[in-house]
Amino acid sequence: MALTFANEHKGILPDRMIAMLAADGAIVQARPFAADQIQPASLDLRLGAVAYRVRASFLPGRTSVAQRIADLKLHEFSLADGAVLETGCVYIVPLLESLALPKDISAAANPKSSTGRLDVFTRVIADQTRGFDRVEPGYRGPLYAEISPRTFPVLVREGSRLSQIRFRHGHAQLTADELRDLHARERLVDDAAADVSEGVTFSVDLSGSLLSPAAGVDGVVGYRAKRHTGLIDVERRAGYTVLDFWEPITARPDNSLILDPNEFYILASKEAVQVPPGYAAEMVPFDPLVGEFRVHYAGFFDPGFGYAGAGGTGSRAVLEVRSREVPFILEHGQIVGRLVYEKMLAKPDTLYGTGIGSNYQAQSLKLSKHFKA
């Protein structure tokens, strides 16, 4: 039976409904899903068997992605046995998942958390679209990943998961009044006075208090990525030494940090964040009202993130920060972005958390899963 919804039911589809979409043929798989591919409120997307290096990033507009690849392709190569994607280059990879969405279901994509923390710029493209990472209701066709490593060369292979996709019915974002009520009930960030007028605001922690002396890095407020490093295999967990790739940044007496243009930083929010089971959240990646810098590439927060019932006690939001054209001074407690909350159509069967091996539950300042603790 096809998955159907009443018009008044709006929200993000949870895990079991994503599985139903696949069973109905709305998500077409070139090969069966991996056991952990369906997350509480999203689906991991897998790279296909071939990659194309292209001259430039593009949007297909009125044509297909395949036609634009044919126009812009420099060369193509297999990912079956793994291949290195170099920094400063743009690659297009057809994904193993394609879509045949119902007319009332849309989708949105984002890089996975581990992808963003490696400074791998990744976006999903669909045919005849005028925007990245957005799929219109009723779309039928292939999906592609645009991949551009910014700092570290990365080793990927067929089946690697760099992006994730959410499915929604209708407009699911909470109104200001709904968000205010939810914050009063659930304390979405550990600041009762947080501004929730246009999403829950959060600030940056530059005090050096997020890591304990027992960790051996007391006073560290973040990390700056090194250049000219070795490559990172995106499938290798806890396999790399932090100092080979990152320069720790210690707290200054005035609790400030000057962002150098085009350098990449990992920082953390001052506030602990939580996402209740019946909701999902997304971080606004760039807000020109708070400064000329970007604070996040991978912005999805699943139901249960930081939630006490899912093994969390509030989790810091890790910030993937890149300044724009000019140096920019950040100060401790400065507002750097906001979280937008959306309703779930139903609570997921499994919440984000330690029970399903989620990598970033109860996190503070944390690099991607590829680095040794």
For 237-290, what is each residue's pLDDT tens digit? 999 999 999 999 999 999 999 999 889 999 999 988 899 999 999 987 556 666
**CA distance linking residue 330 with residue 364, whole number of Å:** 19
φ/ψ of 178, rounded to 5, equals -65, -40
166 closest CA partner among 344, 46, 285, 297: 344
CB 65 within 8 A of CB 48: no
What pLDDT, on a 0 to 100 scale, did the predictor assign at position 210? 61
What are the two backbone dihedrals, phi and then psi, of residue 109, each rounded to the nearest 5 degrees?
-115, 165
Q: Give the amino acid at 269.
A: S
pLDDT of amino acid 288: 62
Name residues of the chain where pLDDT drops below 50.
1, 212-216, 310-312
Q: How far apart are CA 58 and CA 127, in angstroms?
A: 12
pLDDT at 108: 95
Q: Are 157 and 81 in contact (CB under 8 A)?
A: yes
**Residue 319 is inside which H or E element, if any?**
strand 315-323
Domains and CATH numbers, the chain: 11-169 (2.70.40.10), 176-356 (2.70.40.10)
Residue 370's nearest CA partner among 231, 223, 164, 268 is 231
pLDDT at residue 141, rounded to an integer: 97
Non-local CB neighbours of 64 within 8 Å, separated by 6+ positions: 127, 128, 141
**What are the pLDDT digits (tens) for 93-120?**
999 999 999 999 999 999 998 999 999 9
* pLDDT computed for residue 215 by the predictor: 41
pTM tops 0.85:
yes
Which tokens belong to 34?
């991996």
